[in-house]
Chains A and B, each alone.
Chain A
Amino acid sequence: MNCGFCTTASANASEGGNEQKETISVTFVDKDGEEKQIRVPIGMSMLEAAHENDIELEGACEGSLACSTCHVILMDMEYYNKLEDPTDEENDMLDLAFGLTETSRLGCQVIAKPELDGIRLAIPPATRNFAVDGYVPKPH
């Protein structure tokens, strides 16, 4: 996939002057339970990292905090607590995410840093059975 993302973190990514960008280990678990472990440079968002590694994470607004399609679930509370609290803007978008959990964040707002090495992110299931639980997405 060819994506030109514009995350605020990318501007910081070139600091350090090191030839080899420092990376952390990130594991994505897709909706079928399949795992893919990748290395993500410090400063890159999880959304950008997913797309660079052909991991299927939607990103309708390309990281501009105008949708909730890059919703990811942190699989360990320990890692969730290492993140800065979501801003009002991110919370507004998380309101709209399907299958929201207590450790949900937007993938475009989770930026790789050393403390997140080993983080595991689940991509929420794509189908929501509208009929079964009577769930009707309200906002519009």
Chain B
Amino acid sequence: MAVLQARKFLARSFSNLSAHPLRVCIVGSGPAGFYTAEKMLKKHQRSEVDIIDRLPTPFGLVRSGVAPDHPETKIVTNQFSRVAQNERCSFFGNVNLGTSVSLSELRELYHIVVLAYGAESDRVLGIPGEDLKGVHSAREFVWWYNGHPDGINLDPDLQSTDTAVILGQGNVALDVARILLRPTSELATTDIASHALTALEQSSIRKVYLVGRRGPVQAACTAKELREVLGIKNLSIHIKEADLKTTPADEEEMKSNRIHRRIYELLSKAAISGSAQPSSGQQELHFVFFRQPDKFLESDNRRGHVSGVQLEQTVLKGVGPGRQIAVGTGQFEDIDCGVVLKSIGYKSVPVDGLLFDNQKGVVPNIQGRVLSDTSGDPALLENGLYVCGWLKRGPTGIIGTNLYCAEETVLSISEDLERGELASTATSPKPGREGLLELLNNRNVRVVPFSDWEKIDTEEKRLGSLRNKPREKLTTWEELLKAAMA
């Protein structure tokens, strides 16, 4: 009892009277990182928050994921910039967790470390032919057209084929379909990377298939994106009416889910109006349902290159209330194509010294508190280590989902501070920002603070204004760092 009271006293004196501020390091500057920073700064008026990112540019997927023709979705960077400009907050770009600084070093330097570095890898299908040329993950393709410095060398071949197959029917799948099919004159005034615009202008792709293993009721996209892709000029939409038949289980799913109900209605309307349209010389978008990929087919005249996808027909099987999965029927068919984009989900990358659930692709946690051991009872926690965003929940949700995710993680941190859970580390001062910068300087890491990102930002906008684009992205590490140092 006395120990508990002593710890509470220490914790209270820390938070109310501490001579030293609470030093927090957030790894990752996407929405999860920035919303966490904003809430920490607000809730703990004596905290100092540093946000590190391996890229010289902040904002994560808002910069490298959101499609070029969705500029309104990027407006949130204004709010994130205000957070970075808070005097108790610092952004440090070009700092890599692992090579610039280790996790254990960060935990020595800061009272609290929050990992919010998202998901930079992909789920794999694990089927034959996945390594054939021409088979890419949608994530890589998105990085490519968004000018991510690690994505510019993708060099997708859009000229040797007229057909692209996209596996998956979520919003990322719809994004890549739309970028492949939109008139390039419309893309030319967006912040799309120039190398991608050029490739798309020379593209021969006229037919795109969006393939889902379940039905229209289970499609993972949302209404705005579906409406948009259905409204592309000179695009004929192909949906089989037979695929629109619903079962009682489907009806149940739609009854309790407004999103799915409205998606189904949009697809039904598109199927009816699509069949009435002539489709000569137009581009085509095919929604293929109840098909799962079995293998990728190799071209006979281009060894090592994909020439098609073999699909297995599926039926739905109920596995729980409101949940049906796809089961193969043993009947197969092929779609010929020269490009395949797998849009089946992102996956997080583990970090040395951290427990990782490889199946779910997350760091095991309880409401954002990182677990050090999942086998024990009660679960053992890693002191002062938290997660937020996709690394915490898995790679689903929208930008706004991170508002709630950050709220939960910050609440966990606050509770832990109040209860004296962090007393052992929290009562002593930590080197924080000064310590990190000294360490990085000793390692010759060229840190990019927010003011240097602003130089990159200004230069990109300047280059963009010469071409009637909101910005012309700098897409190589060299160009980015050069602009930062100007």
Contact = CB atoms under 8 A, between A and B. Distances in A.
Interface of A: 2, 58, 60-62, 64-69, 88-89, 91-93, 95-96, 98, 100, 126-131, 136-140
A96 B221 CA distance: 11
A58 to B, nearest CB: 6
B73 A61 contact: yes
A102 to B, nearest CB: 11
Contacts of A96: 222, 259, 398, 400
Contact of A128 (B170, B172, B223, B404): B404
B401 interface: yes
Contacts of B220: 138-140
A95 B222 contact: yes
- Which 7 pairs between the two chains have the least Cβ-Cβ distance? A66-B72, A64-B72, A92-B224, A60-B76, A92-B223, A137-B397, A139-B222
A126 B404 contact: yes
B397 A91 contact: no
B412 to A, nearest CB: 11
Greatest chain B CB density within 10 A among A65, A67, A91, A131 is at A67
Nearest to A88: B227
Contacts of B399: 60, 67
B483 interface: no
A92 B225 CA distance: 9
B407 interface: yes
B393 interface: yes
Given A89-B224, A91-B262, A100-B258, A65 B393 contact: no
10 contacts: A58-B403, A60-B76, A64-B72, A67-B76, A95-B223, A127-B411, A139-B222, A140-B171, A140-B395, A140-B398
Given A137-B401, A140-B397, A126 B407 contact: yes
Contacts of A100: 258
Nearest to B31: A60
Interface of B: 70, 72-73, 75-76, 78-79, 82, 170-172, 220-224, 227, 258-259, 262, 367, 393, 395-401, 403-404, 407-408, 411
A89 B395 CA distance: 25
B223 A91 contact: yes
A95 B403 contact: no
A69 B222 CA distance: 16
A104 to B, nearest CB: 11
A127 B414 CA distance: 14
Nearest to A97: B400
B295 to A, nearest CB: 27
Contacts of B170: 139-140
A62 B223 contact: no
A66 B222 contact: no
A139 B171 contact: yes
Given A127-B408, A130-B408, 8 more contacts: A60-B400, A66-B73, A69-B403, A95-B259, A98-B404, A136-B396, A139-B397, A140-B170
Contacts of A66: 70, 72-73, 75
A139 B170 CA distance: 7
Contacts of B222: 92, 95-96, 139
Given A62-B78, A100-B258, A69 B400 contact: yes
A92 to B, nearest CB: 4
B79 A60 contact: yes
Contacts of B404: 98, 126-128, 130
B43 to A, nearest CB: 12
Contact of A95 (B72, B79, B258): B258
B73 A67 contact: yes
A64 B71 CA distance: 10
Most buried by A among B171, B367, B400: B400
A60 B73 CA distance: 8
A95 B224 CA distance: 10
Contacts of A137: 396-398, 401
Nearest to B222: A139
A93 to B, nearest CB: 7
Contacts of B223: 88, 91-92, 95
Contacts of A98: 400, 404
B218 to A, nearest CB: 10
Contacts of B227: 88, 92
Nearest to B221: A139
Contacts of B367: 131
B407 A127 contact: yes
B359 to A, nearest CB: 16
Given A67-B73, A92-B224, A95-B258, A139 B398 contact: yes
Given A95-B222, A137-B401, A61 B262 contact: no
A136 B403 CA distance: 14
A61 B74 CA distance: 7
A93 B224 contact: yes
A60 B75 contact: yes
A92 B73 CA distance: 14
A140 B170 CA distance: 7
A100 B400 CA distance: 14
Contacts of A58: 400, 403
A69 B408 CA distance: 16
Contacts of A95: 222-223, 258-259, 262
Contacts of A127: 404, 407-408, 411
Nearest to A1: B82
Contacts of B400: 58, 60, 67-69, 96, 98
B75 A64 contact: yes
Nearest to B170: A140
B72 A61 contact: yes
Contacts of A89: 224
Nearest to A131: B367
